[in-house]
A = this chain, B = another copy of it.
Amino acid sequence: MEIERKFLVDISGIDLEKYPCINLEQGYLCVHPVVRVRRSNDDYYLTYKGQGMMAREEYNLPLTKEAYDSLLKKCDGVIIKKRRHLIPFNDHTIELDVFLEPLSPLIMAEVEFESIEDAMAFKGPEWFLKEVTEDKRYHNSNMALSGVV
């Protein structure tokens, strides 16, 4: 089960260079339910996500590079590319996604939680501007289909 909240942010005061970074590339074979292929640095996955907004079932299954390359060609819409910066914050890790073209200059933060209670109790740093967990426009799947946000 994946439990996460998403936020729009102002990173003007953040020095991103200080934090580890992962290069992500992903496309969507299907949106309802989500069937996604993702490259995370040099690892490749097929991801299935069940229904739900804040909490949903999720499976991450390994792919070879060849399988990934082949499946990526079958994806709908655009391929999402982003740099994910991992920023420790209290007991959590903020995943700060800086999107590249065609979704640049979008920047969004995600935080994952162990439980619904943990998620509900979370209070982000002051540079978190607006929560968009329930806003479907900010689902990566929908952004991939439309190519915009």
**B29 & A74 in contact (Cβ 8 Å cutoff):** yes
Name A59's closest neighbour in chain B (CB-CB): B59
Q: Considering the complex, which residues of chain A in the window 97-117 have a beta carbon less than 8 Å from any beta carbon of chain B?
A: none
Q: What is the copy number of this chain in the assembly? A: 2
In the docked arrangement, what's the CA distance between A94 and B50, Å?
32
The count of chain A contact residues (Cβ–Cβ below 8 Å) is: 18
Query: Is chain A's binding surface mostly helix, strand, loop or mixed?
Result: mixed
In the docked arrangement, what's the CA distance between A18 and B60, Å?
41
Query: In angstroms, how far is the closest chain B Cβ from the Cβ of A78?
Result: 17
**A33 & B59 in contact (Cβ 8 Å cutoff):** no
**21 cross-chain CB contacts under 8 A:** A29-B29, A29-B71, A30-B63, A30-B70, A30-B71, A32-B67, A33-B61, A33-B62, A33-B63, A33-B64, A33-B67, A35-B46, A35-B67, A35-B71, A48-B48, A48-B59, A48-B61, A50-B61, A50-B62, A59-B61, A74-B74
